[in-house]
């Protein structure tokens, strides 16, 4: 689980500004509810449909840990996957429906979630309702998104609970809290890193939710999910699942069908027409040719455990590492892709370019160190001393 973040799949993607990441990214985007999928009307129905119609008799496995489960009893066979409960054995043995794109996160894009007192004012003498409850009562877009089968996956109950509503991202080290299940959760930074075998599934789900419900993704999120989409291609079950869900709620996840897509559209917050979707397959070939590789990262030099400010960066290489690999967006306040102007100056945004694999193509020592430590191009350090390109880094 040590993949690097890469540049956007389409090089022409215009980045979102950092200033927009907090206020603008959470601004509600109006969605035509008549164009939404016909997802189950309640979460209870969605769960039963997921277990009994999508998975039963076809692929009775959990998403993250690949454990066998019984759709009828809702029990998980932990011995089938080597999962060891971290703390809550009872919850670990039951199946739960996981929102890959957390309800808390897409709820925050809805006014009913953020302002329940104004949208669903309580009657005199009664308590105010929660944002979730308010949205369930008055917002058909939220209700549809919440019960959308494309965003729901069977998961080990304890893992689902521990993941909570944390962001997806990379976590340094290989801290295994669930036996052989290769998912990592760090509550101190509110981040979860899924097994590499399902990172593509997660990426394509996140893009689907952005497109379908007008949920705005940051530039860094697009980079991360683009890398995961590239590294973990669509498999046979993902295609089968897509078709089974289409038969139930009437729509497919187009990012599963195309795998690669026009990220400029995603940057404009889900503005993809049916005509655009029809062009996905044709665009995929061209986009793949332009895509950057996603080599493994050598995490030995830097660590994401401590969030650092620009003033604490030793050099530009470390600043780029914390921006790209650790997701520390505060280092790039102007959203131009280059962190810490005081450290990196006017250096162009660094990305892992597949064409730059030799020392002769490196601009300078800092460039070489970035490709060694962030992009994982180990051929730059042939003697294994941790210093790349002796001709540049003397």
**Average pLDDT of the residues in 92-113:** 93
- pLDDT greater than 60 at residue 96: yes
Residue with tokens 């060891």: 84
Query: Residue 152 is inside which H or E element, if any?
Result: strand 152-156
Closest CA to 315 of 336, 350, 343, 340: 343
Q: What's the pLDDT band for 115 if we cut at 50, 70, 90?
A: very high
Name beta bridge partners: 197.
none
**Average pLDDT of the residues in 3-27:** 34
User: When comparing pLDDT for 26 and 45, which is higher?
Assistant: 45
User: When comparing pLDDT for 97 and 16, which is higher?
Assistant: 97
- What are the pLDDT digits (tens) for 29-66? 567 777 889 999 999 999 999 999 999 888 899 999 99
User: When comparing pLDDT for 282 and 76, which is higher?
Assistant: 76
Most confident of 26-40, 97-111, 252-266: 97-111
pLDDT score of 159: 97
The torsion angles phi and psi of 346, rounded to 5 degrees, stand at: -100, 15
Worst-scoring range by mean pLDDT, 9-13, 322-326, 351-355?
A: 9-13
Query: Residue 118 is inside which H or E element, if any?
Result: helix 116-119
pLDDT score of 330: 78
pLDDT score of 155: 98
Closest CA to 69 of 92, 102, 88: 92
pLDDT score of 11: 24
Q: Where are the domains of the chain?
A: 18-290, 310-380
- pLDDT greater than 50 at residue 21: no
- What are the pLDDT digits (tens) for 120-176? 999 888 889 999 999 989 989 999 999 999 999 999 999 999 999 999 999 887 788
What Å distances lie between residue 182 and 66, 179, 187, CA to CA? Answer: 10, 8, 16
Q: What whole-number distance in Å separates Cα of residue 73 and Cα of residue 70? A: 6
Q: What's the pLDDT band for 373 if we cut at 50, 70, 90?
A: low
- pLDDT greater than 50 at residue 261: no
Averaged pLDDT of the chain: 78
- Burial code of 15-44, b = ≥16 C-beta within 10 A, e = fewer? bbbbebbeeebbebeebeeeebbebbeebe
């Amino acid at each position: 689980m040590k993949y690097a973040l890469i540049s956007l799949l389409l090089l022409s993607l215009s980045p979102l500004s950092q200033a927009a990441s907090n206020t603008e990214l959470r601004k509600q985007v109006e969605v035509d509810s008549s164009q939404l999928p016909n997802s189950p009307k309640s979460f209870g129905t969605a769960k039963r449909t997921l277990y009994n119609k999508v998975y039963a008799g076809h692929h009775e496995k959990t998403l993250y840990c690949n454990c066998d489960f019984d759709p009828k009893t809702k029990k998980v066979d932990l011995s089938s996957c080597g999962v060891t409960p971290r703390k809550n054995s009872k919850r670990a043995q039951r199946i739960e429906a996981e929102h890959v794109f957390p309800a808390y996160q897409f709820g925050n894009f809805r006014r009913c979630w953020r302002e329940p007192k104004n949208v669903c004012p309580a009657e005199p003498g009664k308590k105010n309702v929660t944002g979730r409850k308010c949205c369930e009562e008055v917002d058909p877009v939220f209700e549809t998104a919440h019960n959308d089968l494309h965003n729901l996956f069977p998961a080990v109950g304890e893992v689902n609970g521990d993941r909570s509503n944390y962001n997806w991202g990379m976590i340094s080290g290989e801290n295994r809290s669930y036996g052989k299940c290769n998912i990592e959760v760090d509550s101190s930074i509110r981040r979860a890193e899924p097994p590499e075998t399902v990172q593509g599934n997660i990426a394509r789900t996140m893009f689907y939710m952005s497109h379908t419900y007008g949920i705005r993704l940051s530039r860094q999120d697009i980079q991360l999910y683009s890398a995961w989409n590239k590294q973990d291609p669509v498999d046979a079950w993902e295609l089968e699942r897509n078709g089974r869900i289409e038969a139930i709620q009437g729509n497919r996840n187009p990012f599963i069908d195309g795998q690669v897509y026009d990220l400029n559209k995603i940057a404009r917050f889900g503005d993809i027409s049916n005509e655009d979707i029809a062009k996905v397959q044709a665009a995929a070939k061209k986009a793949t040719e332009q895509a950057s590789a996603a080599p493994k990262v050598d995490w030995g030099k830097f660590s994401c455990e401590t969030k650092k400010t620009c003033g604490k960066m030793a050099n530009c290489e470390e600043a780029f590492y914390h921006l790209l690999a650790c997701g520390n967006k505060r280092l790039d306040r102007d959203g131009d892709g280059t962190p810490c102007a005081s450290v990196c100056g006017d250096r162009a945004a660094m990305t892992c370019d597949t064409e730059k694999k030799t020392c002769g193509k490196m601009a300078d020592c800092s460039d070489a160190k970035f490709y060694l430590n962030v992009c994982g191009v180990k051929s730059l350090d042939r003697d294994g001393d941790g210093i790349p390109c002796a001709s540049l880094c003397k």
